[in-house]
Amino acid sequence: MLFPAHDGAFPISALNEQLQSLTERLTKALATATDTTTLEDVRVRFLGRSGEITLVRRSIGTLPPGERPQAGKIINAAVTGLEALVDAAARALAFRALDAELERSIDVTFPGTARATGSLHPVRRAIEDACAYFERRGFAVVTGNEIETEYFNFDALNIPPDHPAREGLDSFYLRPGLLMRTHTSPMQVRTMQAYPPPIAIVVPGKAYRRDAIDARHSPVFHQIEGLLVAPGIHLGHLKGVLTGLFRDLFGPQQAVRFRPSYFPFTEPSAEVDTTCPGCHGSGCKTCSGSGWIEIGGSGMVHPDVLREAGYDPQTVTGWAFGVGPERIAMVRHGIDDIRVLFENDPRVLAELA
């Protein structure tokens, strides 16, 4: 019997003394536990089903019924404290084991791994650099919706109803009359319809076409559109501006050439090439030996487009162009597969930073 003989007074002081003694002995035993096996032996000896605290609990039965609840509360509170001591000892053992493992396997004096930092995506950098060139020359940067109507995407740009680009095999239609824009050119007409001349804008953004993914094509790509409309604008202005753009992007030795082409929204129209930045025109693998890189399309704004926008082609003229930021990034970094730019491998992007 753990409690002293009952003489009519509840032996709270005796119970507290027993629990205090048990706590002190448990604390000393925990201090000598140097591994989890020893710690578990201590826990079982004091808190197990046959441990010392169990003997104290069983002694409650020797008390008068009216005194048992209070004794039970005191013992339960003591058990909570004893379990907390065991848990603290277990955590301390775990920390010591971890420290020992780290000392064996890690040289804490060795320099740490540098934190990885992000950078602008090569396509984003090409867009920002090109737009900055035009902003310095007074152009406004405008953007538009990627979901467009057939009117702005085709009709207002003088693209006839039977043009192949209007077929579902080439364009992503959401419903009749509504599609994902196939170029950023709709912002030409939207801007001209909203403002009188002169107009000087550059339009960066995404475009969508039903192209199969390969080394040179993607169904989602970027364009940078340029438009200048004012009295007396001619093709020489366009050549001067694009020559300056490519020298700004690729270096001071760049040259530009125009090859006759056809676009429904410009007349005359021309494909735009620039000397290969890799070989500076002498011929290499990047330019297939030609010394030139195709970079986009351009031309004088078609009079029908000006009329549709509410401009008088007898009073104002204008030029427009469209270049691909992906192509600019590929030329800048010597990339021969466009998929590198949208697969987003962090290791590759770090090399291109």
Q: What is the pLDDT of residues 271-283, one digit of tens each?
A: 999 888 777 777 8
| CA distances to 244, 255, 280, 320 from 252, in Å | 9, 9, 11, 23
Lowest mean pLDDT among 24-38, 93-107, 154-168, 310-324: 93-107
Give the pLDDT mean for 176-196.
95
Confidence of residue 284 (pLDDT cuts 50, 70, 90): confident
Whole-structure pTM over 0.75, yes or no? no
* Spans of all domains in the chain: 12-105, 122-352
pLDDT digits (tens, 9 = 90+) for 313-353: 999 999 999 999 998 888 888 787 888 888 877 777 777 76
Give the pLDDT mean for 154-165.
91
133 three-state secondary structure: helix
Per-residue model confidence (pLDDT) at position 19? 82
CA 273 to chain centre: 33
Q: How many CB atoms lie within 10 A of CB 161?
A: 8
| Cα–Cα distance for residue pair 59/246, rounded to 1 Å | 95
> What topology is assigned to 122-352 in CATH?
BirA Bifunctional Protein; domain 2 (3.30.930)
| Cα–Cα distance for residue pair 150/148, rounded to 1 Å | 7
The token pair at 274 is 């620039």
Helix pair 235-250, 325-333: axis angle to 10 deg: 40
Per-residue model confidence (pLDDT) at position 11? 61
**Phi-psi sector, 183: left (phi>0), alpha (psi -120 to 50), beta:** beta
DSSP-H helix ranges across 60-215: 68-105, 122-135, 150-153, 186-194
- pLDDT over 70 for what percent of the chain? 95
Residues in the chain, how many? 353
Confidence of residue 178 (pLDDT cuts 50, 70, 90): very high
- pLDDT over 90 for what percent of the chain? 43
**What DSSP state is assigned to residue 212?**
P
Residue 21: how many CA atoms within 13 Å on its side-chain side? Answer: 10
Q: Is the pLDDT of residue 253 over 60?
A: yes
Mean pLDDT, the chain, whole residue set: 86
Q: Edge-to-edge, what's the strand order for the sheet holding 140-141?
A: 140-141, 199-208, 220-230, 317-323, 292-301, 266-275, 256-263
